[in-house]
Amino acid sequence: MAYGSFSAQIGYKIKLSAADMLLSTTALIENPEKSTEEAFLQALDALSWSNVTKILAGIETAKLQQAAIKTHVRNFIDTHQVVCTGPFVYAYVEEGTPNMKYFSRPLTLCKLARFLREAWISSNKRARDYPFILSAPVDLEKGTCLVAGVPCQTEETRRSEFRKAFTQAADRTQANASFDCFDNCVFEMQMEDRGKFFDALTALCTVC
Same domain for 22 and 113, yes or no, is: no
- Burial letters for 106-145: b for 16+ Cβ neighbours within 10 Å, e otherwise? bbbbbbbbebbbebbbeeeeebeebbbbbbbbbeeeeebb
Reported as half-sphere exposure (CB side, CA atoms, 13 A), residue 171 has a value of 7
Residue 39 lies in a domain: yes
What is the mean pLDDT of the segment spanning 16-36? 86
Q: Which residues neighbour 60 within 8 Å (Cβ) at sequence distance 6 or greater? A: none
Share of the chain above pLDDT 90, in %: 20
What is the mean pLDDT of the segment spanning 110-114? 92
Q: For 141-188, how does the pLDDT look when each residue is reduced to its tens digit (9 = 90+)?
A: 888 999 998 887 544 445 667 778 888 888 888 888 787 777 778 888
Residue 1 lies in a domain: no
Query: Between 161 and 203, whose confidence is greater?
Result: 203
Same domain for 88 and 154, yes or no, is: yes
Domain range holding 127?
81-204
Same domain for 86 and 181, yes or no, is: yes
Residue 148 sits in a domain of what CATH number? 3.10.310
Same domain for 167 and 192, yes or no, is: yes
The predicted model scores a pTM of 0.83
pLDDT value for 159:
61
Q: What domain count does the chain have?
A: 2
- pLDDT-derived band of residue 88, with 50, 70 and 90 as boundaries? confident
Least trusted range by pLDDT, from 41-55, 57-71, 127-141, 157-171: 157-171
Residue 74 lies in a domain: no
Residue 60 lies in a domain: yes
Contact 176, 158 (CB under 8 A): no
Same domain for 111 and 58, yes or no, is: no
pLDDT value for 208:
44
